Structure 1
Amino acid sequence: MSYQFGKVPLRQRIAPWFSGFDGPLAFAVFILACAGLLTMYSSGFDHGTRFEDHARNMLIAGTIMFVVAQVPPQRLMLVAVPLYTVGVALLIAVAIFGITKKGAKRWINVGVVIQPSEILKIAMPLMLAWWFQKREGQLRPLDFVVAGVLLAVPVGLIMKQPDLGTSLLVLAAGMAVIFFAGMSWKLVIPPLAIGVIGIFLIVVFEPQLCADGVRWPVLHDYQQQRICTLLDPTRDPLGKGFHIIQGMIAIGSGGVTGMGFMKGTQTHLEFIPERTTDFIFAAYSEEFGLIGTTFLICAFIFLILRGLAIALEAPTLFSRLLAGAATMIFFTYAFVNMGMVSGILPVVGVPLPFISYGGTAMVTLGLALGILMSISNSKRLVQS
C-alpha cells in the first residue's frame, strides 16, 4: 500500500517529475557515465579522491539535468538575453581586471573565483536561438549578420584570454544555431574550402612554416607550436610532443581487446600526461582496446543521433535550434578530444564528456542534457 498525501498516492505525485525524461537519451548517458567511472577509478589511482570527486560531479550534473528538465523551453527563452548579457559583461571585466594564471587571464573574483567563458557555452546558443525565434518567418540576410556579430564578440574575447579550447566550443555551439536556422550552403562552403586549402598548404610547407624564428599572423606562439607539434611530434619528443606521442603509444598498445582493467602500463607507470582529464581517452583505449573504443564511440554516436532526433521533432523554432546546438556541444567535445589524443587535431583543453575529470565541464553537460530533456518533454506534451 503506497504512502499518501491526502488522496493522491506519493508515486503519482513524483511520476510527473520523471515523465520528461527521454529514455534513449538517459540510457546513452548512463552507459557513458559507467565508462567514465571505470576509467577514472583506474587512471586516477594515485590522485587521492579524484574518483569520489568525479562521482560527486556526476551527481551534481544529474541534479542540474533533473531540475532543468522540469523547465519548459518557453521559460528558457526568458533567460537568454540576461544570461548572454551577463556573460559578455563578465568577459569584458576579465579582460580589464581578471586573474592571470599560467599566462592566461580567464578568471575573475566575484566573491568566488569563476571562469565566465564557461557561461557562454550555454548562453550563446540560447541567445542565438532566441534571436532567430523572434524573426521566424521573416529572416533576412541582415539577421544572419547580426547573429554573426553576437557570436563573434564573446568568441573574440575568449580567444584574447587566450583560451582556444573554450572559444572553439562556443563557436561550434553558435555556428550550429546559425546553420540550423537556415544559413545558405553558399556561405558555408567558401570558408570550409579556405580552411582545407590552408591545412594543405601548412602540411606541404611545414618545414619552412615551423622553422625557428617564423611567426604566423593572428595565432599566439603557443597555438602555432601546437599545430607544428601535431604535424611532427618528434620535433620535441620530450617536450611539446610528449603528450601526443604518449597518447598514441597508449592507444596502440591496447590492441584489439585491450590490456585489461587496471592493467594499462602507460597509465599506471604514469607516462600519459593529464591522464584523468584531457588525455583520459588514451588511458581508456589502452585498457579496453579497439573493442572498448568502438563501443564508446557508438555510445557517443547514439547520444548525438538521439539529440538530433529531439531537435527535428521539437515543436518550435527556438526548441529546434537550441536542441541542435546542445547536441553539437556533445559532438564537439567528443570529436575534438578524441582527435587531439589520437594525433589528428592540435592539443587543446577540451575534456571527453562524462569521462574526463572536471566539475565545470560536467555542469555544462548537465545543463545541455537538461535542455534536451525539457525539449523532448515539450514535444510529447504538444503531441498529447
Structure 2
Amino acid sequence: MLIPLIVLVGFGALILFSAAGGSWSPYASSHLVRFSVFLVMAFVLSRFSKKIVSFFAFPGYLAVLALLLLVEIMGQIQGGSQRWLNLGFMQLQPSELMKPAVVLALAKFYSGLPVGMIPTWRSLVPAGVLIAAPMALVLMQPDLGTSLAIAFGGGIVMFLAGLPLRWFVMAGSGVAVMVPLAFFFALQPYQQRRVTTFLDPESDPLGAGYHITQSKIAIGSGGLTGKGFNEGSQSHLQYLPEPHTDFVFATMAEEWGFIGGIVILGIFAIILNWGLQVARRSHDRFAKLLAAGMTATIFFYVAINLMMVMGLAPVVGIPLPFVSHGGSSMMTNMICIGALMMVNRWNQDAPQRGLRG
C-alpha cells in the first residue's frame, strides 16, 4: 500500500507545482513536508495496541467534540465560515478530526454491545447521538460537506454492525421527505445556490455556475493525454478556481488528460481495496468495524471530490486525499491510513499470540 500511496503523493506534488505556476512554493513543498510528518505519525499510530485504542475511543471522541465547541467560542472566521483554531504553528480544523473519531467511537460501542441487542433501540439511539452531536456543531460553522462525511462514516459502521436493513430504508425515506424542507429552512443561502447551480450550472455560467463550468472546461480540454506538464491554461490564467485544493483533479486532467485520471483512480482503487482486505481479515468486531469505517472515510473524500469537479454533485468543499493542498485533510486521511496499518498489524500478530498461548 505504501508504494502506491507515495506515488500518489508525489504525483500530487507535481500537480501542485503546476498549480503554483511552476514553483515548489507555496503548495508542493509544504505538501511533501506534511506528508512526511504525517507518515511518521501513521507509523507511530500503527504501533498502538488494541487495548489502548479501545480504552481511548470515547475519551478521544469527547476531546474532539470539546474542540468543536471551542471553535464556536473562539474559532477563526475565514471566508464566512468559523471552522479553525489557531494553534500558532498551524490552523487546526477539528471537524476533520471528528471523521475518524466518530468511526472509532462507534466501533468501540458496537464491539461491546451484545449481539442480541443489535436489532433493538439500544443499538440505534446511542449511536445516533454520537453522530448527531458533532454533525450539529459542524453545521453551525457552517460546513455541509464535513457533516455529511461524518454521517457517512458513522452510517457505514452502523450498517456493518448489523442493524436491520429496514431501519436504513426508513431513514432514507425520511431524508427524501425532509430534503425539500431542509433546502428552504436549514441550508444557508450560499449552500442553496450550490444545489441550484449543480442542477443547472449553465443558468449562471459567470456567477454561481462559474466553478463547475470552468472545471468541466479544464477536464474536457485535457483530452486523452493532456496539454503537457505545467502547460495548463485554465489554472495558469486563473480561470479555474481553487486549482490547488477542491479542483486539483481538474488541474491534473487538463495537463495529464484521461490517462492521468485513470492513474489516480487506479491508485485509489489499490488503497481502498487494501483497506477492505484489512477489514475482512480482522479477527474481531472492533477491528473489522474500525478498518471498514476508516476505509469508508477515505472513499467519501475521493467519491465526492471527483463527482464535484465533474458536475455530478454540488460543490461542498471536499479536497482530494493525498493530492489536494491542505494540512487538516492530509492529517485526517493519514490518521485513517495509520489506523488501517495498525489493524493490519493486529491481524498479523493474532495467529502468533494464539500459537504462544
Superposition TM-score, scaled by structure 2 size: 0.91
Match of 2:147 in 1: 167
Flag the 1:149–1:198 CA change in 2: closer, same or farther, 3 A: closer
Match of 1:78 in 2: 55
CA distance, structure 1, for counterparts of residue 5 and residue 317 of structure 2: 22
Amino acid in structure 2 at the alignment position of 1:178: M
1:91 CA displacement: 1.9
Flag the 1:74–1:44 CA change in 2: closer, same or farther, 3 A: farther
Match of 1:40 in 2: 16
Flag the 1:33–1:99 CA change in 2: closer, same or farther, 3 A: closer
The answer to whether the Cα contact below 8 Å between 2:13 and 2:29 also exists between their aligned partners in 1 is: no
Amino acid in structure 2 at the alignment position of 1:174: G
Match of 2:115 in 1: 137
SS at match of 1:45: coil
Match of 2:129 in 1: 149
SS at match of 2:84: strand
CA distance, structure 1, for counterparts of residue 61 and residue 137 of structure 2: 13
Flag the 1:195–1:297 CA change in 2: closer, same or farther, 3 A: farther
Q: Which moved more, 1:226-235 or 1:332-341?
A: 226-235
Match of 1:227 in 2: 195
Amino acid in structure 2 at the alignment position of 1:327: T
Match of 2:342 in 1: 374
The answer to whether the Cα contact below 8 Å between 1:72 and 1:375 also exists between their aligned partners in 2 is: no
CA distance, structure 2, for counterparts of residue 184 and residue 238 of structure 1: 47
CA distance, structure 2, for counterparts of residue 255 and residue 275 of structure 1: 18
* Counterpart pick for 1:93 among 64, 70, 73: 70
Flag the 1:85–1:111 CA change in 2: closer, same or farther, 3 A: farther
1:190 CA displacement: 3.4
1:294 CA displacement: 1.6
Q: Does 1:188 align with 2:164?
A: no
Q: Equivalent residues in 2 for 1:226-265 (5 A)?
A: 226-265=194-233
Q: Equivalent residues in 2 for 1:1-384 (5 A)?
A: 25-45=1-21, 48-108=25-85, 114-140=92-118, 141=120, 142-193=122-173, 216-384=184-352
CA distance, structure 1, for counterparts of residue 13 and residue 74 of structure 2: 38
1:30 CA displacement: 2.2
1:359 CA displacement: 1.0
Task: Deviation per CA, 1:234-283: give whole Å up to 9, x if none.
Answer: 22222221110000001100111211211222122221110001100001
Flag the 1:267–1:114 CA change in 2: closer, same or farther, 3 A: closer
CA distance, structure 2, for counterparts of residue 284 and residue 192 of structure 1: 35
Superposition TM-score, scaled by structure 1 size: 0.85
SS at match of 1:305: helix
Q: Which moved more, 1:225-234 or 1:69-78?
A: 69-78
Amino acid in structure 2 at the alignment position of 1:93: L
Task: Deviation per CA, 1:309-341: give whole Å up to 9, x if none.
Answer: 101111221111110111011100000101110
Mark the runs of 5 or more structure 2 residues left unpaired by the alignment.
353-357
Amino acid in structure 1 at the alignment position of 2:8: L
State the percentage of identical aligned residues.
37
Amino acid in structure 1 at the alignment position of 2:142: P
CA distance, structure 2, for counterparts of residue 164 and residue 258 of structure 1: 33
Match of 2:355 in 1: none
SS at match of 2:56: helix
1:358 CA displacement: 0.5
CA distance, structure 2, for counterparts of residue 109 and residue 286 of structure 1: 35
Amino acid in structure 1 at the alignment position of 2:70: A
1:73 CA displacement: 2.8
CA distance, structure 2, for counterparts of residue 175 and residue 72 of structure 1: 26
1:169 CA displacement: 1.6
Q: Which moved more, 1:248-257 or 1:88-97?
A: 88-97
Flag the 1:42–1:131 CA change in 2: closer, same or farther, 3 A: same
Q: Which moved more, 1:247-256 or 1:259-268?
A: 259-268
SS at match of 2:246: coil
1:178 CA displacement: 1.0
CA distance, structure 2, for counterparts of residue 162 and residue 197 of structure 1: 22
Q: Which moved more, 1:226-235 or 1:259-268?
A: 259-268
CA distance, structure 2, for counterparts of residue 288 and residue 300 of structure 1: 17
Match of 1:16 in 2: none
1:298 CA displacement: 1.8
The answer to whether the Cα contact below 8 Å between 1:259 and 1:287 also exists between their aligned partners in 2 is: yes
SS at match of 1:100: strand
CA distance, structure 1, for counterparts of residue 225 and residue 93 of structure 2: 40
Mark the runs of 5 or more structure 1 residues left unpaired by the alignment.
1-24, 203-208, 210-214
The answer to whether the Cα contact below 8 Å between 1:311 and 1:319 also exists between their aligned partners in 2 is: yes
The answer to whether the Cα contact below 8 Å between 2:275 and 2:292 also exists between their aligned partners in 1 is: yes
Higher-Rg member (1/2)? 1
1:116 CA displacement: 2.2
Q: Which moved more, 1:73-82 or 1:350-359?
A: 73-82
